[in-house]
C-alpha cells in the first residue's frame, strides 16, 4: 500500500505495516527483535514522533508504533468519532491481533489515558511502563481546563484546528524546546496527515475531550492501584507549558511507586523530539530492571 504523503526517507526509514480495522486501517511500525515495546503518541503526532527512539533501539527490542485512526497514515473506519475511548479500543485491537505479550508501554500526551486504559485492566501482560508529560485522571488543574476550552471549544477552537491546522502548525513547534530540531521536514511530517479541514477534526476532538471524557478518565484513575507493582520510568520535560507541571509528575510517582524519575530541564512537551536518547535509556532501564515481567 502506498503512503498517503511523502516523507524524508532518512528521517523515517521504516517498513509500513497495515492492519484492517473495520472498513478502515491502522498503520503501524514493527521494527527490530527482542522484548516488545508499544509506543503510543498523542495529539497531533503519530509514529513519526518515535522515529529516533526506534532507530536507536531496534537492535535490542521489538518496537511497535501505531498511528491512531485519523492520525498519521491510518484511515478511520466509517462513523469513527476520534474520541480517546475509541482510540484506546483501536490500540487494544492491535495488541490482540498482533498477539503482543509482556509489554513495555511508552506513553506521552493522550497516549497516557489511551495506554493506561489498557494497562489497568491487563497488568499481567505488562513488563513495565515509561511515562512522559501525560495524565490519566480528570483534568484537575486550571491550565489544562483552559487549554481544553481554548483548543477544543466551539467555535474558536474548532476553527483554529480545522481551518488553520493550529495544532500541527503551531503547537507542535512550540512544544519542542530545541528550536534547531524544528526543521522543514519535521514541520512537513506533522502537517501532512491533515491536508483538509475534515481531516483535522481529530486534532480538535482530543483537546475537547480533556473535559468531555471526565467519567472515562475517572474510571482509569480509580483503577491505577492495579499498577502499584509495575516497574516504571518517569521522564518529565520541565519546559512544557501545556498543563504538565511537576505536580502532575508527582501524581504519577504516587500512582506508580516502583518508579525511577528523571527530570529533563532541556525538554518541553514532546520529550521524544527533544531527548530521544533519554527515552531510549528509560526503555533500556525497564528492560534491565525486569526479566520476564519480574522485577529484579
Q: Which residues form the catalytic set?
A: 109, 240, 269
Question: Which residue matches cell numbers 507493582?
Answer: 229
What are the Cα distances from residue 243, in Å, to 109, 142, 145, 223, 230? 10, 8, 9, 23, 25
All three cell numbers of 208, joined, read 475537547
Question: Strand order of the sheet with strand 62-66?
Answer: 17-21, 24-31, 62-66, 36-40, 103-109, 126-134, 232-237, 259-264
| 229: phi then psi, degrees, rounded to nearest 5 | -110, 20
Q: What is the DSSP letter of 69?
A: T
Cα–Cα distance measured from residue 112 to residue 108, given in angstroms and rounded to the nearest whole number = 5
Q: Which long-range contacts (CB under 8 A, 24 or more apart) does 12-15 make?
A: 12/48, 12/51, 12/189, 13/55, 14/51, 14/54
All three cell numbers of 228, joined, read 502499584
Cα–Cα distance measured from residue 295 to residue 148, given in angstroms and rounded to the nearest whole number = 38
pLDDT in the model for residue 67: 99
Distance of CA 119 to the CA centre of its chain: 14
All three cell numbers of 111, joined, read 497516549
Domain 17-140+215-295 fold: Rossmann fold (3.40.50)
Helix 142-152 to helix 156-164 angle, to the nearest 10 degrees?
60
Number of Cβ within a 10 Å radius of residue 129: 27
Cα–Cα distance measured from residue 162 to residue 281, given in angstroms and rounded to the nearest whole number = 37
Cα–Cα distance measured from residue 144 to residue 135, given in angstroms and rounded to the nearest whole number = 10
Q: What is the DSSP letter of 167?
A: I
**The pairing of beta strand 24-31 with beta strand 62-66:** antiparallel
pLDDT in the model for residue 1: 87
In contact, 289 and 126? CB cutoff 8 Å? no
Residues of the chain with pLDDT under 50: none
Amino acid at each position: 500500500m502506498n503512503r498517503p504523503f511523502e516523507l524524508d526517507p532518512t528521517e523515517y526509514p521504516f517498513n509500513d505495516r497495515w492492519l484492517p480495522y473495520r472498513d478502515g486501517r491502522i498503520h503501524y511500525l514493527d521494527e527490530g527483535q527482542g522484548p516488545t515495546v508499544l509506543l503510543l503518541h498523542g495529539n497531533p503526532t503519530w509514529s513519526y514522533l518515535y522515529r529516533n527512539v526506534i532507530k536507536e533501539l531496534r537492535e535490542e527490542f521489538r518496537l511497535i508504533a501505531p498511528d491512531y485512526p485519523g492520525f498519521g497514515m491510518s484511515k478511520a473506519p466509517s462513523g469513527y468519532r476520534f474520541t480517546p475511548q475509541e482510540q484506546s479500543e483501536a490500540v487494544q485491537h492491535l495488541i490482540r491481533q498482533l498477539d503482543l505479550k509482556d509489554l513495555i508501554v511508552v506513553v506521552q500526551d493522550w497516549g497516557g489515558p489511551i495506554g493506561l486504559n489498557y494497562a489497568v485492566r491487563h497488568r499481567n501482560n505488562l513488563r513495565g511502563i515509561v511515562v512522559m508529560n501525560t495524565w490519566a485522571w480528570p483534568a484537575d488543574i486550571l491550565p489544562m481546563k483552559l487549554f481544553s476550552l481554548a483548543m477544543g471549544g466551539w467555535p474558536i477552537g474548532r476553527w483554529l484546528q480545522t481551518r488553520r491546522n493550529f495544532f500541527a502548525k503551531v503547537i507542535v513547534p512550540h512544544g519542542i524546546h530545541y528550536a534547531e530540531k524544528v526543521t522543514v521536514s519535521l514541520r512537513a511530517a506533522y502537517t501532512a496527515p491533515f491536508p483538509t479541514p475534515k481531516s483535522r477534526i481529530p486534532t480538535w476532538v482530543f483537546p475537547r475531550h480533556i473535559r468531555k471524557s471526565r467519567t472515562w478518565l475517572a474510571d482509569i484513575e480509580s483503577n491505577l492501584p492495579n499498577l502499584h507493582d509495575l516497574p516504571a520510568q518517569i521522564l518529565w520535560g520541565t519546559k512544557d507549558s501545556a498543563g504538565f507541571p511537576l505536580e502532575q509528575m508527582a501524581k504519577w510517582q504516587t500512582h506508580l511507586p516502583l518508579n525511577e524519575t528523571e527530570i529533563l530541564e532541556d525538554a518541553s512537551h514532546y520529550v521524544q523530539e527533544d531527548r530521544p536518547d533519554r527515552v531510549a535509556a528509560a526503555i533500556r532501564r525497564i528492560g534491565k530492571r525486569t526479566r520476564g515481567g519480574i522485577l529484579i
